[in-house]
Amino acid sequence: MKERGIPLIAVSAAWGGFWGSWSALLPAIKEQLGASTADLGLALSAVPVGAIPAMAVAGRLAGGRERTALIAVTVAFALSVAAIAPVGSPVALGLTLLLVGMASGALDIALNMATGRVEREGGRRLFQAVHAAFPVAVIVAAPATGLARSLGMGTGAVLVTAAVLVLASSLSLTALRMGRGLPAAGGASGRRRWKVAIVLGALAACVLIIENSVEQWSVLLLEDHRGASALVASAAPAVYMAALTLGRIIAHALPRLTLRTFYLASGVGGVAGMALAGLGGSVLASMAGFALTGLALGPLVPAVLSRAAADDASGALVSTVSAISYTGFVISPLLVAALTARVGLPGALAALGLLAVPLVIGYLGVRTENCRPLRQ
């Protein structure tokens, strides 16, 4: 199983590596293009705009040809990343990021479908390990990019390097072993698939709303409301990501855990963690809250996708759950902005912990007979 999972882990790591580098490059890109904050925000919004329809199309095309689809979209993503390097205006950046979003969304779906197929055929869990590679790469790539810039490396060179690493990861997929064609049976019926997909996708979206809010607002919380220095505050997303990764590694090491267990741990830990982060009143308390939140919520989305893969061998359920859950990234900035206008940023982040309550309800609502381990 480990050998079969290495190419998928490599792709996830290269994918996360770009997004880690990208976050560190944004100030330099803003300066180079002479863009205002509003211009940059508009350009960045092109990523989810491109991703959502691409996810729907990728889910339809990848079924039965998961490896080929994953190779194709990984190469497309590498080319779209390289295309950012020569852009010279905010408008050009927005158009290019539309392509990046399309390729990234398709990669998300193809990677999840390929991972689900390898899990079914190999009989062992893989989603936690594949999804853990992404945040690890983000944590490594962001400071590495900062170091490269301090040594005189330009943004174009960093982007091309990231594109080459993504392209190299696609080459490893030629060694990925899996069956061909759609399975003869095992797919859920259309009506049941949509019902299950909406429930699982909505629960995963709640987790992603919280995750995105921590990534985007945790630094501002510590600087403006806890009096932390810029250096200390900048560590908040890394603390969350490190805890999230640890949660996934622990979950991968304990294959007997059930989805019902993940619902309970994520629900309770998410509520408590975000309350502590938002209302704790000190830098240490907020950092501890972000760490608890990441540790609790980290394993949930991979666990949900693993269950979706096991329940529908066609892969359609995995792609649909992935697409629905992605709406969390779109909703999160708008929701935090609206809550902040009413209760302030600390209260807004604490209130987002309530989105973990449905996970506890999911724990109470899951029937005992469906609580088998995700994988042996």
Q: Do 52 and 138 reside in the same domain of the chain? A: yes
Range(s) of the domain holding residue 255: 190-370
- Between the alpha carbon of residue 24 and those of residues 83, 142, 252, 265, the distances in Å are 18, 5, 30, 32
Last residue of a domain, one of 175, 210, 229: 175
Each residue of 223-275: pLDDT tens digit? 889 988 877 887 888 899 999 999 999 999 988 888 889 999 999 999 999 99
127 and 262 co-located in one domain: no
Q: Is the residue at 304 inside a domain? A: yes
Domain boundary among 147, 175, 203: 175
Residue 354: inside a domain: yes
- Does 181 fall in a domain? no
Residues 235 and 365 in one domain: yes
Residues 135 and 194 in one domain: no
Query: Measuring CA to CA, how many Å separate 61 from each of 69, 146, 331?
Result: 8, 38, 27
Q: Are residues 56 and 24 in the same domain?
A: yes
Query: Is residue 307 assigned to a domain?
Result: yes
Same domain? For 208 and 100 the reply is no
Would residue 182 count as lying in a domain? no
Q: What is the pLDDT of residues 95-129, one digit of tens each?
A: 999 999 999 999 999 999 999 988 888 777 889 99
| 56 belongs to a structural domain | yes
Say if 375 falls within a structural domain.
no
Q: Both 166 and 212 in a single domain?
A: no
What CATH number has the domain bearing residue 311?
A: 1.20.1250.20
Count of domains observed in the chain: 2
| Reported pTM | 0.83
* Gyration radius of the chain's alpha carbons: 20
Same domain membership, residue 195 and residue 171: no
Q: How far apart are CA 194 and CA 370, in angstroms?
A: 18
Q: DSSP string covering 181-211, please?
A: S--SS-PPPHHHHHHHHHHHHHHHHHHHHHH
Q: Does residue 131 share a domain with residue 197?
A: no
Residue 231 lies in a domain: yes
Q: Does 161 share its domain with 54?
A: yes
Residues of the chain with pLDDT under 50: 1, 184-185, 368-370, 376
Q: Are residues 277 and 307 in the same domain?
A: yes
Output the pLDDT for position 189.
56
